[in-house]
Structure 1
Amino acid sequence: MKIDVAKGFRQGILMLIPLIIGYLTNHFSTGLLIATGTLAHIYVFGGPAQSKLRVVFFSTVGLSIAMMLGSLTVNQPILFGILLLVITIIPHYIFSSLNIVGPSSIFFIVAFSLPTNLPFAPEDALYRGMAMFAGGLLATLMVIIVILFSKESAEMKAVKSDYNIIKQLIYNFDDPKAFAKASQFAVSAFRNSDNQLITSSTFKSKASPEFQRLLLLHNTAQGIHSELLELNEKQIRPLPKEIKQMADFVIKMVFSEGNIKTQWTQKVEIDSQYQNLVDNIFKVDAIINADNERVEHEVNVRMPVYGHRMLSNLTLDSFVFRNILKYAIIMGISIFIALMFDFDKAYWIPLSTHTVLVGATTLHSFERAGARCIGTIIGVLVLSLILLTTPPILVAIILLAASAAITEMFVGANYSFAVIFITIQVILLNGLASNHLSIVIALPRITDVIVGIVIAVVCLLFIGRKTASSMLPGSLADVARNEAVLFHYLFSSNKYSSIKQDKRELLNLSVKLNNMIQIYNNANGELFSNKSEIQYYYPSIYALEELSFMFNRALNNEQRYHINDEKMGQYLLVFENIAKHFERGTNIQIQNLPELPQYINIRTSLTNIQSNCMNAR
């Protein structure tokens, strides 16, 4: 990720405004709470407008509830500790299940623990929560302003990204190795674009001609990729130069966002084997030049089912769920130690433990542990030098806003550097809340952070050391069986399709695929896993992803061919053989599959997986 100067500047302004107003009106504690509520803005990263608003709103609600619960229980250590654990687990699980990037539970912990620096006043819990909510609304207003002044929507960016990929695929097609590499990237990139589009906007805007046009362009880009895959499997190359010229023409039209209305007028004379590809390229031209009334209304847009996705991960087969269990155990230990030994600012220990645990892999977590330790020490020393000068409140306010801004600028690009300012930000926030700005609030934090880091590192060495690598074979078997079900659903002569069933089948496969990819990435980052054994699975994982892409294309094709029961049985047998190989390590013999009309690449992918399994060990 790059340094995000704009977002950092916005966060600094959001923190500064309520703090300055509160200071000037003698309502500083309220201004501080509102400023803390603006931290909801931190959770807004890329994505469609509706997705951004959803994230900032629910983050606002969560931070407000955390503040109220903290205010009510701050004088009851056992209940406070239990609720702190709940406050950390729930946001972490939601962000993990929905693949939302960001700081996870960090600022929920800060919001819940802030009352330890405020006067004990449970009667003010609702007022404090509402002040936090007001800050969240301020953050929401900032997000809305950014959306309104954005040059182009996230949906348009997703479609442009699709056609950038198409250009790479077409220009690399004549080189089989280069095309294979580009195609490998394209599968995951199209899936990301698909997620951008299906999570965007409201249902009303999904029915608009503008959105329908973008959706059609996205589907057509996938169609072009699908046709290129078919030509590649038949080893039909090189591509005629006319096709490259046509592709350049329509890609330029897509990037002009409809401002170029000229149509392709040159006569195209090519071999019939390229006709399907040419038809798909011409379709882009037709979609862009069509009137709104002529744009096909795809009313059955696949709506994301967030609740279903989160429920689907509540199983021991889910890597997200197993990670949450490990996270809950380690955070529970951290909170218990912090409260049992009566540390002064006990929440700093679980806060430090959490920042280590949100690493993508075990190795990444250890890197974060080092960064957190070094960054905290530097941050504390810098702040201690500043506090030695006894700065006035106004200077502390400006310093807090500046540290929040710098944190946001660098947190995605350089975590080690950002930790320095995260430390300054949180210590100042708590110092201002307690009205006690001195070196005494800074130096003890070094001990707290080191204790939290040691707890995280020691626990990671003993808890779930090889969880991902042990789960990986089973996750591949699950995906293979799920794809067998979808294959039968798509191509069986006994058709039983329905829109509701389409959504269910795609969602189930999507959850399984995400689980498999997460497990693979984490297995690669485990400290004690056999890396060469893990790498063996990668070609099969890619082939399973490619199958998913082809099934998605087939689902959108109502004119797809169906196969008889005999051919269906041969394909289902191969799927089950593959699943059994991954699950039990059984030997596999390559089965010759009959051709599948329209989708030769499905047959090729299955053959490739069988070959990978044969050459396994």
Structure 2
Amino acid sequence: MEEGKSSPSIFRQALTVNKKPFPWLKAVLAGIASGLPILIMLLFNNLQYGLIAALGGFTYLYVFPIPYVLLAKKLAWVVLGISVSVFLGTILAPFPIISAITMGLIGATAFFTFGAFRFIGPSAIFFVLVFAMSTGMPIAPEEAFLRTGLVFLSGILSWCIAMSGWFFNPHGPEKNAVKTTYIALAQLVDALSTKSVNEAQYHVMKSMKDTSQTLASGYSKWHTSNLFYQLYELNNIANKIYLGMIETNTIQQPKELGEALRKIALVLESKDIESAAKHITLFEPIFQNEQTSLIAKEIFNAKDCLNAKSKTSEELHFTTPTIKRVFVGALNKNSIILINALRFGIFTFLAAFIAYEFHLNRSFWVPLSCAAVMSGATVIATFHRAIQRGLGTILGIIVASVLLAFHPSGYFIALFVFLLTFITELFIVKNYGLAALFFTPNALIMAEAGAVGDYSFIYFATTRLVDVIIGIAIGLIGVWLVGRNSASSRLPHLISKTIRSQAQVFFVVFSNKKIYKNYGKNIEFNKMNTNLTNLNMVFDAATGEIPKDKKALEYYWPIIHSLEEMAFLLEKSSRNKERQTLGDEKLAKILLVLEEMAHAADRKERAPLNAIPVLNGFLIIQDTLQQLRKNLMGCGENIVPKQSL
């Protein structure tokens, strides 16, 4: 973490446009997914049904570069969730209070599910939107199945559009994940013997963990291609290279090693990997250092794997937790996911309740704006969302006023929905405010075109602006009152829990207890990974709190880094077929040291300096234990942060 630099104001941060490339293909397909249902229903001369069906097009907005096996499942649940939301919104529209409660439940459930499984995407926002818009339609409970059917069919269309990429690049996300790992390894080689080596090492571990999860989610028992086996083997080789790097103090020919790793990463960008691999030439190894020779050997093994000369004989093993384990971990009382989901649901309900009680016209914009604001991952992100949504809405109303001044109908509405969805997806990666600028007129056109009554656009635009301001205010109050410092206050206890769960894993690994091939059966490993996941999420949330305790965060970051490394090493040791055991005395001493560190972390005290026994054959683990204790002691300082922690 950098010191001495003043951070830009929250307002300036909210207006920052990042440098991510425009997702042209996704934007076009998103526009088609939203506009095509309207166009199809226009062929049957029914614009109203077309606008209802267009709600199913929001399914495509949950498309992200994840393995197609996982994407197919995720989008199927999104289609069902959106369809159920429309059904419930239609039948509960005559009952405002019940609608408000249901809206909160839908929001909390979707928010919790996306958080528990760590799905990237817009989370609960579109489930709340389609439910809210359904309650704002002409009250007709008898049309519940018709509306739900239209939305479901449109959602299936979005699913088909999203899955069409499988025919052209079935393992694209997996290839990109493995490529990222090799680039991270090359950057680690560059960073050796520099001050940034710890950060580079952390990025490698994170990348390898993400890659393993990506491969696990892309694995299918029914069909596994040769390319998938290659990627699996390349990931295993990357793990061996990393272990070789942290086992040695000196790397010979680092420039050549880094270039070789980047060449392997470059090959993974090709459609024909085997053909591209034949044209790469690696360095001539001249090593006196045995450890460097082993690293070079693994790099050449990676090239052979790309050439399809090496076929893995290993069974595929993944550390994917069961669905039950994911939910149990997320339901833990210290889980930031559970806290945020409850806050999201409660304040979405309050926003809807206030809107209904005051009989605001098209009152669903109030809870929708509240939900959009609270979707921010941190407190700071929430304030960013409030600023972005406020400015985006004001400018978006101006855009909508220009478009609606032409009184569009029929095919022009389908065209506008396509264009505005296209532009929204194009700019969402740049800045949420820019996306809101185009999402606002899109939603207004859909609402206005389907409205029944003689209200003018000025009336709708004015009420929309008032509703958005009310919703933003409720969302900000919710974040400020509930959980403002909930993340940082949980860090010590979660660190303690993680250390204790690692002690349990340490006992299983080094006392020759049975370790199942299916990691879902290994309770100790499940607990450790759940605690580590919760710890990382809480730390990420703590970095966005207001006020932010920089000193405390700088203290805890290297501790979490050491815990990540310890988990990585324990898992790798458990997979060693010639796993050694420690004597009872050594094992007892190690467990005592870990318990002392856990106790000290929970009470925010210094850990005792009891000797860590020599672990012959496991010196990396011994070094990591020593580093963890050093980090817990504040790197030699006498002060353990206690401000709000």
Give TM class, smaller chain.
over 0.9
Aligned residue type for 1:382: V
Q: Which runs of 4+ in 1 moved over 6 A?
A: 262-267
Instruction: Say whether the 8 Å CA contact 1:117–1:433 is kept in structure 2.
Output: no
Residue identity opposite 2:349 in structure 1: G
Select which of 397, 409, 418 maps to 2:414: 397
AA aligned to 2:302 is V
Counterpart amino acid of residue 231 in structure 2: L
CA 269–453 in structure 1, closer or farther in 2 if over 3 Å, else same: closer
Cα deviation for residue 215 of structure 1 reads 0.9
Alpha-carbon separation, structure 2, partners of 1:609 and 1:498: 28
The match for 2:250 is 236
CA distance, structure 1, for counterparts of residue 490 and residue 347 of structure 2 = 20
What is the CA deviation profile of residues 74-123 of structure 1, one whole-angstrom value per residue up to 9, with x for unaligned ones?
A: 01112211211112111111111111122112211221122334332212
Q: Distance in 2 between matches of 1:240 and 1:80?
A: 63
Letter aligned with residue 210 of structure 1? L
| 8 Å Cα contact 2:230-2:308 kept in structure 1 | no
1:291-337 Cα offsets, whole Å, 9 max, x none, are 68x43141444445234212321121211111212222222221221
CA distance in 1, matches of 2:130, 2:36: 19
Structure 2 residue aligned with 1:442: 461
Q: 1:379 aligns with which of 375, 396, 401?
A: 396
Q: Which whole-Å CA distance do the structure 2 matches of 1:533 and 1:45 have between them?
A: 34
Within-5 A mapping of 1:208-607: 208-231=225-248, 235-239=249-253, 257-259=273-275, 260-261=277-278, 270-289=288-307, 294-434=311-451, 438-492=457-511, 494-500=512-518, 503-607=522-626
RMSD (CA atoms): 2.5
**d(CA) in 1 for partners of 2:194, 2:46:** 68
| Cα separation, 1, equivalents of 2:256 and 2:41 | 66
Give the partner amino acid of 2:381. Answer: H
TM-score by length of 1: 0.92
Distance 1:161 1:241, change over 3 A: closer
Q: Provide the C-alpha distance between the structure 2 equivalents of 1:339 and 1:12, rounded to a whole number of angstroms.
A: 32
Measure, in 1, the Cα distance between the counterparts of 2:437 and 2:285: 63
Query: Aligned partners of 2:253, 2:620: CA distance in 1, in Å?
Result: 18
Letter in 2 for 1:454: A
Q: Structure 2 CA distance, aligned partners of 1:15 and 1:281?
A: 46
Q: 89, 97, 108: which one pairs with 1:89?
A: 108
SS of 2:484's equivalent?
coil
Q: 1:345 is aligned with what amino acid?
A: R
Where 1:537 maps in the other structure, the secondary structure is helix
The CA deviation string for residues 486-542 of structure 1, in whole angstroms up to 9 with x for no partner, is: 1111122x4322224665443332221121111112112111342212321111111
The C-alpha deviation readout for 1:20-63, integer Å capped at 9, x for no partner, is 22223212222222221011010111111112212211111111
State the distance in 1 between where 2:65 and 2:202 align.
23
**Aligned 8 A contact 1:381 1:443 in 2:** no
Distance in 2 of aligned mates of 1:576 and 1:145:
52
Seen in structure 2, the aligned counterparts of structure 1 residues 245 and 269 have a Cα distance that, compared at 3 Å, is farther
**1:401 partner amino acid:** F
Which is worse superposed, 366-375 or 549-558? 549-558
Question: Between the two proteins, what is the percent identity of the paired residues?
Answer: 27
Amino acid at match of 1:325: L
**Counterpart-to-counterpart distance in 2, 1:79 and 1:310:** 27
Q: Which amino acid aligns with 1:447?
A: V
Q: Which moved more, 1:501-510 or 1:580-589?
A: 501-510
* CA distance in 1 between partners of 2:121 and 2:266 (Å): 34
Q: 1:197 to 1:575 in 2, by over 3 A?
A: same
Task: Give how far 1:131 is off.
Answer: 0.9
8 A Cα contact 1:384 1:443, kept in partner: no
Distance, in Å, in 1 between the alignment partners of 2:477 and 2:283 is 68
- Give the distance between the partners of 2:58 and 2:556, measured in 1 at CA: 41
Shift of 1:472: 0.9
**What one-letter code is carried by the residue in structure 2 that aligns with 1:372?**
R
Measure the CA separation in 1 of the matches of 2:138 and 2:22: 38
Matches within 5 A, 1:146-185: 146-150=165-169, 153-173=172-192, 175-185=193-203
Distance 1:247-1:73 versus aligned 2 partners, 3 A rule: closer
Deviation at 1:142, TM superposition (A): 0.6
Select between 221-230 and 437-446 the one with higher mean Cα deviation. 437-446
1:18 aligns with 2:37: yes
SS class of match (1:561): coil
TM-score (normalised: structure 2): 0.88
SS at 2:195 equivalent = helix
CA contact (8 A) 1:106 1:355 kept: yes
CA separation of 1:193 and 1:347: change in aligned 2, threshold 3 A: same
Taking a change above 3 Å as real, the CA distance of residues 40 and 307 of structure 1, as seen in their structure-2 partners, is: farther
Paired amino acid for 1:377: I
CA deviation after TM superposition for structure 1 residue 172, in Å: 3.5
1:73 alignment counterpart? 92
Q: Distance in 2 between matches of 1:244 and 1:91?
A: 43
Q: Please list the CA deviations of residues 537-589 of structure 1 after superposition, one character each: whole Å capped at 9, or x if unmatched.
A: 11111111111121222222222332111111221122111111111123322
CA distance in 1, matches of 2:350, 2:423: 32
Task: Look up the match of 1:143.
Answer: 162
Q: What is the Cα deviation at residue 250 of structure 1?
A: 5.8
CA distance in 1 between counterparts of 2:428 and 2:488 reads: 29
Q: Aligned in 2, Cα 1:375/1:115: closer, same or farther, shift over 3 Å?
A: same
- Counterpart of 1:198 in structure 2 is 216
Give the letter aligned to residue 378 of structure 2: T
Matched, 1:111 2:111: no
Distance 1:240 1:435 in 2: 70
> How many angstroms apart in 2 are the aligned matches of 1:603 and 1:327?
43
Query: Structure 1 stretches of 5 or more lacking a match?
Result: none
Greater alpha carbon shift after TM alignment, 353-362 vs 24-33 = 24-33
| 1:78 alignment partner AA | I
Query: 1 CA distance for matches of 2:553 and 2:611?
Result: 27
Cα separation, 2, equivalents of 1:14 and 1:431 = 20
